[in-house]
Amino acid sequence: MLLHSVIVTNSCWAQSRRPLVSTLFHCFSISSNSFASITSPEASHIDEDFNDFLPWLEHKAAAKISSALSIGKSSYGRALYAAKDIQTGDCLLKVPYSVQLSADNLPVEITCLLGDEVGNVAKVALLILYEKKLGQNSEWAPYISCLPQAGDLHSSIFWSDDELAMIQPSALYEETLRQKAQIEKDFWAVRLVFDRLPHHFQDVTLQEFTYAYGLVTSRAWGSSRDVSMIPFADFLNHDGASEAYVLCNESKKHSEVIADRDFAPGDEVLIRYGKFSNATLLLDFGFTVSSNSYDQVQVELNIPQHDRLYTQKLGLLDRHSTRSVKDVNEFTSSLNSFTIKEVKSGSKKGKGIPQSLRAFARILTCNSQEELDDLAVEAAQNDGRLARYPLKNKKREIAAHQLLLSEISQLVEEHNKYIKLLVPAPPYLCGKSFLRRQLAQDLLTGELRVLKSASAWLENYCSTLLTK
């Protein structure tokens, strides 16, 4: 997944969407309140090693990129800090398209060897490997040299099998395996380039390609220009509460960021990568956010093949498969896969439990063709979607929601089991192993909170129906 820039068509602006792994490459778990505390000049540590980076980039662009920001180090890795007083609405940076890395930067001798099945993420990964092999002879050497090393990336695509086993209850586990399989598929798709141009890509391994791929998915933005690495802008760290994004100005051919608040000199400047759950943050960027309000859990329901109405239920679902855009989850749009979000205490309608999931449960618990026919008539009389209203038969309505409660209770039990295996961490753990264990714990703890909120609402809903 890529981060997207915002495009505002009237003035040719667009919001970029950021890809898969972030500048927070030291991968600490971030408290949702921690960003507010990174505001004193004392917290800013200017990175002397990068004093020449911005002048180099501005010289290459033949344009001023930023007078408001400087590169520094924070507790979370490399960062951008306010170099002077910044007011809400000020332009923080402008990076011309001419100094952004995209598939268009690949030499023709490479692109002519690539088939249509090779996507732009893989192409930009190839570009990074190409420029990296050139070393100091690369025109992008100052940028390539400042990219994080493989050992600094903690996206789940870099986790070992034993590390991935820590998050097995989460949908992220299967999604990571799918992502790793896709990377390997892309690797073999570009293998011809490595074989034909050994002087550019000598002995490139799957591990090296995965590293480059991870850099793209974690640091690039997607926009109307597809996938682009944006030097300097990719030093910006994430704040889930920020309203600042990377914007693309299509008429002026540059990307920019506008301040969403005031900053004093020394404050770390932050943007929001998107409204992402910890599963997405961990897959794409390699970090988590404590008490993440965007956490969600993927749930799958299936019609048992031994159900005597199996064929009829499948047929009904095939004919009325319309689902709300809000019901589509972050990893898959499968018709039997649903996303649960946290249900706020006191919620009357159970907002957070998708109507499509409740509808699926109502269909699953139908015991007769007549009941299925009634649902089909109801769908035809409304918006075409099935079982969006409580069943008239109270017992069937309770049965449908008790089914959901049972499924979610199993997930609660499984999450609890795995969290207990993670806490406390063995005293000998340190460094990367300790960090990834903490990330796994944050992921599962956030999902458990969501599951418990849904379970509590379902219990109350069923109890209320029983007493009516």
* Domain annotation for the chain: domains and CATH numbers: 1-10+45-287 (3.90.1410.10), 296-322+335-467 (3.90.1420.10)
Mean pLDDT of all residues in 201-216: 94
Per-residue pLDDT, 223: 74
Q: Residue 450 in 3-state DSSP?
A: helix
Per-residue pLDDT, 231: 96
- How sure is the predictor about 1, in pLDDT bands with cuts at 50, 70 and 90? low
Whether the Cβ atoms of residue 299 and residue 341 lie closer than 8 Å to each other? no
- pLDDT for 379-397, tens place per residue? 888 777 788 888 888 998 9
Per-residue pLDDT, 132: 94
Per-residue pLDDT, 323: 52
Q: Is the pLDDT of residue 221 over 50?
A: yes
Whether the Cβ atoms of residue 292 and residue 300 lie closer than 8 Å to each other? no
Task: Return mean pLDDT, the chain.
Answer: 86
Per-residue pLDDT, 2: 62
Per-residue pLDDT, 37: 33
Per-residue pLDDT, 40: 38
Confidence (pTM): 0.87
- How sure is the predictor about 443, in pLDDT bands with cuts at 50, 70 and 90? very high
Mean pLDDT of all residues in 255-272: 95
Largest CA distance in the chain: 77
- Residue 68 class from Cβ within 10 Å (0-12 exposed, 13-18 middle, 19+ buried)? buried
Per-residue pLDDT, 331: 57
Q: Is the pLDDT of residue 317 over 50?
A: yes
Per-residue pLDDT, 42: 43
Whether the Cβ atoms of residue 313 and residue 307 lie closer than 8 Å to each other? yes
Query: One-letter amino acid identity for 253?
Result: K
Mean pLDDT of all residues in 438-456: 97
- pLDDT for 14-64, tens place per residue? 555 554 333 333 333 443 333 333 333 344 466 777 889 999 999 999 999
DSSP assignment of 73-105 equals: EETTEEEEEESS-B-TT-EEEEEEGGGSEEGGG
Q: Residue 92 in 3-state DSSP?
A: strand
Determine the distance from the C-alpha atom of residue 168 to the mean position of all C-alpha atoms in its chain, rounded to a whole number. Answer: 18
Mean pLDDT of all residues in 336-358: 91
Q: Which residue has the higher pLDDT, 180 or 18?
A: 180
Per-residue pLDDT, 16: 58
Mean pLDDT of all residues in 263-289: 94
Query: One-letter amino acid identity for 38?
Result: I
Beta-carbon contacts of residue 429 (< 8 Å; ≥ 6 apart): 437
Q: Is the peptide bond before 427 cis (omega within 30 degrees of 0)?
A: no
Per-residue pLDDT, 51: 83
Per-residue pLDDT, 427: 77
Beta-carbon contacts of residue 240 (< 8 Å; ≥ 6 apart): 32, 272, 275, 276, 289, 292, 293, 294
Mean pLDDT of all residues in 392-413: 94
Worst-scoring range by mean pLDDT, 107-121, 285-299, 319-333?
A: 319-333
Per-residue pLDDT, 48: 74
